[in-house]
Amino acid sequence: MSDTAFKARVYIAARFSRRAECNALGHELAARGAIITSRWTKPNSDHVMPSGLSAQAEDSERQRFALEDVDDVLAATWMVSLMEEPRSNGRGGRHVEFGIAVALGHRLTIIGPRETVFHHLPSVEHFETIEQFLASLPEVAA
């Protein structure tokens, strides 16, 4: 079997600052026959925050990128994720768990600041505080 016989649809995931590195990896995989589904890695894509920083983007931009990323992941048959050394005690496991819940179609609620573009999906319920969240729930019969 030759290298060009490799036929996978690959989504490359990583920190956005590694976009050029991911694009280079995508070229390597494409040269072997893979189709790269991750738009965000491609330099000529419109999948770029106009301000350059997600935190400065409008909610509508964040929602669009989240929807596009989900579509790109669904179009893939293989996830290639470039991981990072931990920067703090927080390991990011909640983001993985959130992603699994998204994939399973669970109801999604976040409390506090939206940390990732995926927290802007239309199906995500967002509350700033626990008190706001609790107030939104039906009263429990005594």
Q: Are 65 and 49 in contact (CB under 8 A)?
A: yes
Domain count, the chain: 2
Residues 64 and 116 in one domain: no
Query: Are the beta carbons of 77 and 8 closer than 8 angstroms?
Result: yes
Which of 84, 104, 129 marks a domain boundary?
A: 84
12 and 64 both lie in a single domain: yes
Is residue 56 domain-shared with residue 111, that is, in the same domain? Answer: no
pLDDT in tens, the chain (142 residues): 344 446 788 888 887 888 898 898 888 888 888 899 999 998 888 777 666 666 677 888 888 888 898 888 888 888 888 777 656 554 555 787 788 889 988 888 888 888 889 999 999 988 887 778 778 865 544 3
Alpha carbon distance 15, 33 (integer Å): 25
Whether 11 and 70 map to the same domain: the answer is: yes
Q: What's the domain range around 138?
A: 87-142
Question: 65 and 133: one domain?
Answer: no
